[in-house]
């Protein structure tokens, strides 16, 4: 039986080093759309993994900065595996540090990407360091995967995430926790992006308006139909976030378009809403609709296997670390939405703080050691699959 207090003491002693590494990572600005910006942080992470005798493979990206895969150098043949997943990209463009500098006050660390999710990468490394220093040997080999395109939908890396999820015992996603009380994310909404393109017929708005077919008029009908798909009680949201159309005020608009964001809590809701959007039909004579898009990230539901892993984590927290954990649902998607399709998944295992994608983004450093300890205890749990 592992000694939770010994583990926590070790990590609390390392809290200064944890904050130092986190600061270093934040000072490396890593926007998703700048592949070159990802190389320094991936190189630093590679060095950190190699320092604890992990074997590292860097997978180059076509449009992204690429991915990093790390595995124990001494993994035994046939040993079951678990995977920790995180991302090094952020939503913040190069130069954001001038407006949002790295600052620490009363153990609150601020800076772009500190909460979402560079602190989670630090937890991943220090949990592995602690296990190594204590001489503990997990019966389930801890693998690590870090991508650089999560904030733009993991377009290149999803196939690697899926492949790993299919062959591991469980997955822990180091996205930030849910709320200031550090809830674990055991459910996430599915996320979809759709575009409706409306094509009508141009005409002079004063001389011969009847000869035209207004794409804008049709779009107004489409928008109302889309908003009727909202179901706040069920947790389904369909938001028309961008519209465009027309050429000049004195022309009947020949084309218009709308971009729609969809969030759904269940796979059944995903299928229903996707079918409804693709089933839209025009009501304005002479106008046609083109509809593209899909639910790109399926919902992460509270499956039986996910809940079983949640109960393991909750019991470890109470019995060994004297921590009370709660679970919650997040409105945004992550790579956990993908892994949950194939293996037991816990998300939001990362830092406690606030401000993901917001100017006030911060991490509460006081909670880093206990979050790291929880992760380490979970890594030491026996296999879930027989």
Q: List, in order of start, the domains of the chain with CATH numbers.
A: 4-187+300-379 (3.40.630.10), 190-297 (3.30.70.360)
CB 174 within 8 A of CB 352: no
Would you state the pLDDT for residue 90? Answer: 98
CB 279 within 8 A of CB 272: no
Task: With CA atoms as reference, report the closest residue to 254 among 291, 288, 292.
Answer: 288
The H-assigned helical ranges of 279-367 are 304-321, 335-339
Would you state the pLDDT for residue 386? Answer: 64
Q: pLDDT digits over 312-353, tens only?
A: 999 999 999 999 999 999 998 999 999 999 999 999 999 999
261 — phi, psi (to 5°)? Answer: -105, 130
Separation between Cα atoms, residue 92 and residue 358, nearest integer Å: 9
Separation between Cα atoms, residue 220 and residue 246, nearest integer Å: 13
What angle, rounded to 10 degrees, do the helices at 15-26 and 38-50 form? 150
Structure-token pair, residue 124: 């991943």
Structure-token pair, residue 336: 């956990």
Would you state the pLDDT for residue 2? Answer: 74
Sign of CA dihedral 7, 10, 13, 15: negative
Would you state the pLDDT for residue 7? Answer: 97
The three-state (H, E, C) secondary structure of 25-78, written as one string: HHCCCCECCCHHHHHHHHHHHHHHHHCCCEEEEEECCCCCCCEEEEEECCCCCC
Strand-pairing partners, residue 104, are: 109
20 — phi, psi (to 5°)? Answer: -65, -45
H or E segment to which residue 23 belongs: helix 15-26
Would you state the pLDDT for residue 385? Answer: 80
Q: Which residue has the tokens 């809290």?
A: 15
Q: Which residues of the chain have pLDDT under 70?
A: 1, 386
Would you state the pLDDT for residue 21? Answer: 98
pTM confidence score: 0.92
CB 142 within 8 A of CB 82: yes
Whats the size of the chain, residue-wise? 386
């Amino acid at each position: 039986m592992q000694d939770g207090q010994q583990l926590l003491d070790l990590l609390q002693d390392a809290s200064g080093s944890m904050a130092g590494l986190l600061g270093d990572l934040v000072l490396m600005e890593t926007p998703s759309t700048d592949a070159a910006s990802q190389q320094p942080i991936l190189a630093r992470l590679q060095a950190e993994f190699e320092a604890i005798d992990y074997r590292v493979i860097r997978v180059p990206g076509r449009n992204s900065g690429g991915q990093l895969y790390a595995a124990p150098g001494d993994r035994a043949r046939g040993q079951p595996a678990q995977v920790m997943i995180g991302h090094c990209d952020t939503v913040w463009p190069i130069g954001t540090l001038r407006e949002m500098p790295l600052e620490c006050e009363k153990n609150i660390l601020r800076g772009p990407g500190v909460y979402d999710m560079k602190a989670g990468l630090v937890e991943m490394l220090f949990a592995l360091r602690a296990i190594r220093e204590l001489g503990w040997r997990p019966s389930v080999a801890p693998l690590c995967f870090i991508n650089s395109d999560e904030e733009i939908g993991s377009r290149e890396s999803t196939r690697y995430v899926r492949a790993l999820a299919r062959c591991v015992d469980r997955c822990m996603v180091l996205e930030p926790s849910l709320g200031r009380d550090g809830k674990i994310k055991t459910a996430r909404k599915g996320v979809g992006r759709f575009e409706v393109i409306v094509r009508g017929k141009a005409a002079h708005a004063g001389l011969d308006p009847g000869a035209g077919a207004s794409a804008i008029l049709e779009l107004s009908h489409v928008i109302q139909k889309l908003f009727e798909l909202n179901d706040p009680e069920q947790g389904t949201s369909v938001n028309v976030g961008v519209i465009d159309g027309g050429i000049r005020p004195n022309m009947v608009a020949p084309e218009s378009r709308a971009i729609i964001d969809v969030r759904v809590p269940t796979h059944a809701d995903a299928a229903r809403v996707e079918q409804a959007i693709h089933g839209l039909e025009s009501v304005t004579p002479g106008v046609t609709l083109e509809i593209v898009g899909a639910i790109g990230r399926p919902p992460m539901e509270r499956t039986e296997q996910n809940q079983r892993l949640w109960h393991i984590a909750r019991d470890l927290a109470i019995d060994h670390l004297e921590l009370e954990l709660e679970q919650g649902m997040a409105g945004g998607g992550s790579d956990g939405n993908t892994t949950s399709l194939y293996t037991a998944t816990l998300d939001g295992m990362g830092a406690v703080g606030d401000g993901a994608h917001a100017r006030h983004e911060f991490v509460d450093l006081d909670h880093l050691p206990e979050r790291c300890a929880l992760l380490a205890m979970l890594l030491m749990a026996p296999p879930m699959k027989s």
